Amino acid sequence: MGKLKPVVSILSILSLILLSSFDHEYFVSITNINLKEETKQLQIEVKLDAEDLEHIILKEIGKEVDLDKVKESDLPIIGKYLSKHLAIWVNGGSLKLELIGEELNPDGSFWCYLVANLPAVSQTIKIKNDILLPTFIQQHNIVNLKADGKVQSHTFINKHTTHTFKLDAK
């Protein structure tokens, strides 16, 4: 029994080292889209894990960003990544997304704030959301669309990255 204790201790330490090498167990982003008819805008909030976003921007765009200290020159890089992986079409026409702000929370979540101008009448909103996919295959991107006081939600996963929301006709 005495010889088994060191082996168990070594295995325990190795297990802890291996487990600590994984940053987190879940990969989820949340996107809240608020349709504002009175201002003819979509107001968009995207919540991501900051380290995941830093990793993917470096991998995909080849630029290093430090989301702890976002510089003015980092905003176009973040905006470029988001515009490539979050696309919105209203009534069949694509919208230009504009990054207007960002915020890092103490829990490591990173919020991006975007706006897009709307056409006069909105009947359908098609969204492509493959943020952090396919690098993180287990990624789930939840989108909540609020229009006319009603909220519709959809979860985007690997290989299922588009969805069309139907809005009530006026």
pLDDT tens column, 64-74:
999 999 999 99
Q: 114: which strand partners?
A: 44, 99
User: What's the pLDDT at 23?
Assistant: 56
C-alpha atoms less than 13 angstroms from C-alpha of 54 in its C-beta half-sphere: 14
Which amino acid is present at 92? Answer: G
pLDDT in tens, 80-96: 999 999 999 998 899 99
Of residues 26 and 30, more confidence is placed in 30
Is residue 111 predicted with pLDDT exceeding 50? Answer: yes
The residue to which tokens 């959809």 are assigned: 154
Burial of 52 (0-12, 13-18, 19+ CB in 10 A): buried
Beta bridge partners of 111: 47, 103
For the chain, percent of residues with pLDDT exceeding 90: 69
Q: How high is the pLDDT of residue 16?
A: 44
Residues in the chain, total: 170
Task: Output Rg (C-alpha) for the chain, integer angstroms.
Answer: 20
Residue 42's pLDDT is 95
**Alpha-carbon torsion, ordered 34, 137, 15, 107, to 10 deg:** -20
Q: What is the chain's mean pLDDT, rounded?
A: 86
How much is the pLDDT for 120? Answer: 73
Where are the chain's structural domains?
28-166
Question: In the numeric block, which tokens belong to residue 15?
Answer: 């297990």
Q: What's residue 122's pLDDT?
A: 73
Q: Is the pLDDT of residue 14 over 90?
A: no
Q: Using 50, 70 and 90 to split pLDDT, how confident is the model at 6?
A: low
SS (H, E, C) the chain: CCCHHHHHHHHHHHHHHHHHCCCCCCCEEEEEEEEECCCCEEEEEEEEEHHHHHHHHHHHHCCCCCCCCCCHHHHHHHHHHHHHHEEEEECCEECCCEEEEEEECCCCEEEEEEEEECCCCCCEEEEEECCCCCCCCCCEEEEEEEECCEEEEEEEECCECEEEEECCCC
Longest alpha-carbon distance in the chain: 78
Q: What pTM, to 2 d.p., does this model score?
A: 0.82
